[in-house]
Amino acid sequence: MKYRQLGDSDLQISTISLGSWLTTAGGIEKAQAIACVHKALDVGINFIDTANVYGRGTAESVLGEALNGISRSSYILATKVFGAMSDTDKGLSREQIVKQLDASLRRLKTDYVDLYQCHRYDADTPLEETMEALTEEVKKGKVRYIGFSEWPQDKIVEACEMLDMAPFVSSQPQYSLLWPYPQAELFDLCADYGITQIVWSPLAQGILTGKYKPNQNPPGSSRVGNESMGSMVPKRWLEAPVLEAVQKLQPLADEAGLTLAQFSLAWVLRKANVSSAIIGASRPEQVVENAAAADAQVTQELFFRAEEILEPVRQ
């Protein structure tokens, strides 16, 4: 496993990290989810990402159970705030940040989180109120560092230019061979403020593993084959032209001596501003396979050919 610095923090996080959106939130059996967490730690993954809204607390509770008894200094824990926990509990007001952080800490069975992220931008709360509340939690020691996910660029700048506020150290955008758009402007903007990326969906909801074949029913055990989770994958990515293009990437991965998933993760990690790629795994073997991408050596020429293949079918 390789590690990179997270923004202007003192955190060194694994370049492959473990997410919990569709796993510990209830997408797989709890025992299996816990086994994935333990395997991740075994292979050197030290960064675990979750959110209060994943399963409305279920993901955090399962992680709290999985990590119970494990040295707190051996892993770096991140969660998020913004999503609706009830009809009235949502957003980034001071009241919600205080309330939701305390609830997250209880579920995670810890006194602090290493990274507390604003899951989206809250247009209904003054930005200064949000930043003041986050800064207060950092001063209390309940949060070490703060970050954001999918914020408008003008609001990123506004927040970073505020005086006497805790600085953002991380951004969490969607980023993959099928969704490369953040690299155009966001990465450079963040670099100017000492912010690096922790990217979600680096395998495009599993499409870039190559397991979905054109004009064939998806495997029953897959995300798309699961009735409750299949709707989360963009329909566009399941169309034949996209799946056919993805299949054309397999020879490139073979040439690099990698699985298609490892090749796709290596593409994401080629950017220095990307500190980590979040993977979701339903089996410990998937954790092991994806973790190996941290050591992958791929020529830029192969990456360029992959980009050319997918360019015509991107959204």
Q: 3-state secondary structure string, 87-146?
A: CCCCCCCHHHHHHHHHHHHHHHCCCCEEEEEECCCCCCCCHHHHHHHHHHHHHHCCEEEE
**119 contacts 149 by C-beta, under 8 angstroms:** yes
Contact status, residue 274 vs residue 196, Cβ threshold 8 Å? yes
pLDDT given for residue 216 in this prediction: 79
Rounded CA-CA distance 204/44 in Å is 23
Specify the pLDDT at position 92. 98
| Cα distance between residue 222 and residue 205, in whole Å | 10
SS3 263: helix
Residues in the chain: 315
Residue 208 CB contacts under 8 Å (≥ 6 apart), including other chains: 176, 177, 178, 202, 246, 249, 260, 261, 264
Rounded Cα gap, residues 145 and 13, in angstroms? 13
Predicted confidence (pLDDT) at residue 8 exceeds the cutoff of 80: yes
Report whether CATH 3.40.50.980 matches the domain 3-205+266-282: no
Q: Report whether pLDDT(81) > 60.
A: yes
Sign of the Cα torsion 234, 239, 243, 246 reads negative
* Arithmetic mean of pLDDT, 70-85: 97
d(CA 311, CA 48): 32
Confidence of residue 26 (pLDDT cuts 50, 70, 90): low
Q: Which of 54, 75, 145, 212 is catalytic?
A: 54
| Per-residue pLDDT tens over the stretch 191-227 | 999 999 999 999 999 999 999 998 877 766 555 645 5
47-49 and 3-5 beta bridge pairing: unpaired
Q: What is the pLDDT of residue 14?
A: 98
Q: What is the pLDDT of residue 22?
A: 65
Region 133-157: mean pLDDT is: 98
- Cα dihedral angle (11, 193, 199, 176), rounded to 10 degrees? -140
Q: Identify the CA nearest to 1 among candidates 47, 38, 37.
A: 47
- Which pLDDT score is estimated for 179? 97
Residue spans per domain, the chain? 3-205+266-282
pLDDT tens per residue, range 264-306: 999 999 999 999 999 998 899 999 999 999 999 999 999 999 9
What would the pLDDT profile of 88-140 be if each residue is shown by its tens digit?
Answer: 999 999 999 999 999 999 999 999 999 999 999 999 999 999 999 999 999 99
- Position 215 scores a pLDDT of 81
d(CA 42, CA 22): 21
pLDDT at 24 over 70: no
Residue 226 has what DSSP assignment?
A: S
Catalytic residue flag (residue 116)? no
Q: Which of 23-32, 55-64, 166-175, 179-188 has the lowest mean pLDDT?
A: 23-32
The pLDDT tens digits for 161-197 are: 999 999 999 999 999 999 999 999 999 999 999 999 9
Helix (H) or strand (E) holding 147: strand 143-148
* pLDDT recorded at residue 233: 86
Q: Are strands 113-118 and 143-148 parallel, antiparallel or unpaired?
A: parallel
**Residue 25's pLDDT is what?**
60
Please tell me the predicted confidence (pLDDT) of residue 222. Answer: 54
